[in-house]
Amino acid sequence: MELTLDVLKEKLTAWKGCDLAKTANPVFGEGNPHAKVMFIGEAPGDKENEQGRPFVGAAGKFLDDLLESIGLKRDAVYISNVVKFQPPENRDPKPLEKEQCLPWLMLEIALVQPKVIVPLGRHALAYFLSDITISDAHGKDFHLTDSVTVFPIYHPAAALHNGSLRSSLATDFRALGDFLQTVA
């Protein structure tokens, strides 16, 4: 059977390879299967767990606004998470949980083949650039391979409670929008 995003999503639904899968619903990525840009968050929250979709709560609404601010519709991009299941009480995902879920994300990236990967926050950033913090890396483009650039941005949820991060996110999205114009 050909591996597609739909097939991968079905396989995730049946997967019980980490403890979180016993207590939460699977939340696979969604969006344009051929998107030029892919956004990667940390893990689903309450709303995402309820609906089985990434970034549909307050942080997701903010992400939608930021996308709109640079003329991008949500269905033009691909949005996913490192961890595919909500951790209890929305705690940070543990290293083992991130490691166990990583193959799903890697296969999504291999299928979508984005030109630009936007890690949202430090958990996603760490998989692409291991020796730099989000506060140093945000808003800048890093050449990962000949065809893939990583453009880290703060997590929108962090900015919901912090006014200065909010304006930093808006600035970084403008820089992302400008950068995307240069990517074929």
Applying CB under 6 A, the residues found at the interface with ligand URA are 41-45, 48, 54-55, 57, 59-60, 81, 157
Residue 48 or 108 having the CB closest to ligand URA: 48
User: Measuring CA to CA, how many Å separate 81 from each of 93, 103, 109, 119, 127?
Assistant: 11, 12, 11, 9, 12
Residue 150 or 157 having the CB closest to ligand URA: 157
3-state secondary structure of 38: strand
**Shortest Cβ 105–ligand URA spacing (Å):** 12
**Shortest Cβ 182–ligand URA spacing (Å):** 27
Residue 114 or 121 having the CB closest to ligand URA: 121
**Shortest Cβ 170–ligand URA spacing (Å):** 18
Residue 55 or 173 having the CB closest to ligand URA: 55
Sheet bearing 37-41, strands edge to edge: 30-31, 78-81, 37-41, 116-119, 149-150, 142-143
**Residue 75 and residue 31 in contact, taking contact as beta carbons nearer than 8 Å:** yes
Task: Kindly state the tokens that stand for 119.
Answer: 């890690």
DSSP 75: G
Number of residue whose CB is nearest ligand URA: 41
**Shortest Cβ 97–ligand URA spacing (Å):** 13
**Shortest Cβ 64–ligand URA spacing (Å):** 12
Report the distance separating Cα 101 and Cα 62, nearest Å: 25
Residue 54 or 152 having the CB closest to ligand URA: 54
